Amino acid sequence: MKYILDFDRTLFDTDAFVAAAQRDGLTSTEYISPDIWHSYTVEDFLYPEVLKWLHTKNKADVRILTAITPKQGFEAAEYQKAKVEQEPIINLVKHIYYVESDKATMMQTIATTGDPDEQLIFVDDLLEHCIAVQAAVPNCTCFLMQRTNSSSAPPPPTSIRVIQSLADLDTITPSGPGDS
């Protein structure tokens, strides 16, 4: 089983980070910079179960697929890379994929590079990404992450299940805890 995980609002509490940066008097131009990670650590903003859950998985089975948002400014790509590639995350995943918008195309690439019979699990906080991935990679099981502190969204199609934490995956997916 391979897990392909979104980063922001799936592993990383983006809203808490932005709130902390704003409390410290920073504007979005100032905190969307790779240099911000000299003052903050990603680990401080990971959701509570993330590290524990990642430690139960084989590193070879976990990937991150994250979007870079060019409209955030000229440093958006470097900011996202500096954020995601920090320890301990970088040591707990096999690969990190960066895309500007289309996660479905990258998921097709990921699906074709591995064992065609291997179960793929995709987790993202945006319904449109889940729908696009499910259409592009029909053998992928998609989960919509809706953290308890996130805004409510319309219910997804019945083929996309909603989870509130990574730990929920272990109660839903066939292999469960400690799969490899």
pLDDT, tens only, 110-127: 999 878 788 999 999 999
Note whether 2 and 109 are within 8 A (CB). Answer: no
Name the residue type at position 172: I
What is the Cβ-side half-sphere exposure of residue 170, based on CA atoms within 13 angstroms? 14
**pLDDT above 70: residue 155:** no
- Which CATH number goes with the domain that contains 94? 3.40.50.1000
* Tens digits of residue pLDDT in 16-63: 999 999 999 999 888 999 999 999 999 999 999 999 999 999 999 999
Note whether 149 and 123 are within 8 A (CB). Answer: no
Residue with tokens 């983006």: 14
Note whether residue 47 is domain-resident: yes
Note whether residue 180 is domain-resident: no
Domain count, the chain: 1
At 145, phi and psi to the nearest 5?
-85, 120
Say which DSSP state 114 is in: S
Note whether residue 177 is domain-resident: no
Give CA–CA dist 158/175, Å, rounded. Answer: 21
Note whether residue 160 is domain-resident: yes
- The range of the structural domain enclosing residue 108 comes to 2-172
